[in-house]
Amino acid sequence: MAEKIISIPSFIEPVRIDQVGIEERAARFTKRSIKNETKLNGLLLALNMIDLTTLEGKDTEGKVKQMCYKAAHLHDAYPGLPTVAAVCVYPSMVATAKKAVEGTGIKVASVSTAFPSGQAPRNIKISDTKFAVAQGADEIDMVISRGKFLEGEYNFVFDEIAAIKEACGNARLKVILETGELVTYDKVRRASDIAMYAGADFIKTSTGKINPAATMPVTLVMLNAIKDFYYKTGKMIGMKPAGGISKSKLALHYLVMLNETLGEDWMNNHWFRFGASSLANDVLMQLMKAKTGVYQSKDYFSVD
Q: Is 175 helix (H, G, I), strand (E, B) or coil?
A: strand
- DSSP-derived letter for residue 51 is E
Reply yes or no: is the peptide bond before residue 91 cis, omega within 30 of 0.
Answer: no
Residue 79 has pLDDT above 80, yes or no: no
For 252-274, the pLDDT digits (tens) are 999 999 999 999 999 999 999 99
CATH of the domain at 57: 3.20.20.70
CA 162 to chain centroid, in Å, comes to 19
What domain range is 70 assigned to? 19-29+40-300
Specify whether 298 is catalytic: no
pTM exceeding the 0.85 threshold for the entire prediction? yes
The answer to the question of residue 10 being in a domain is: no
Max CA distance (Å), the chain: 64
Element (H, E) at 112: strand 107-112
Phi, psi of 128 (to 5 degrees): -55, -45
Find residue 143's DSSP bridge partners.
176
Residue 209 has pLDDT above 60, yes or no: yes
Catalytic pick from 51, 125, 240, 282?
240
Specify whether 51 is catalytic: no
Specify whether 204 is catalytic: yes
- What per-residue confidence (pLDDT) applies to 1? 43
For 290-301, the pLDDT digits (tens) are 777 655 555 444
Instruction: Please provide the DSSP assignment of 240-286 as one string.
Output: E-BSS--SHHHHHHHHHHHHHHT-GGG-STTTB-BB-HHHHHHHHHH
Catalytic pick from 51, 70, 130, 141?
141
The answer to the question of residue 115 being in a domain is: yes
For the chain, what is the domain count?
Answer: 1
The answer to the question of residue 228 being in a domain is: yes
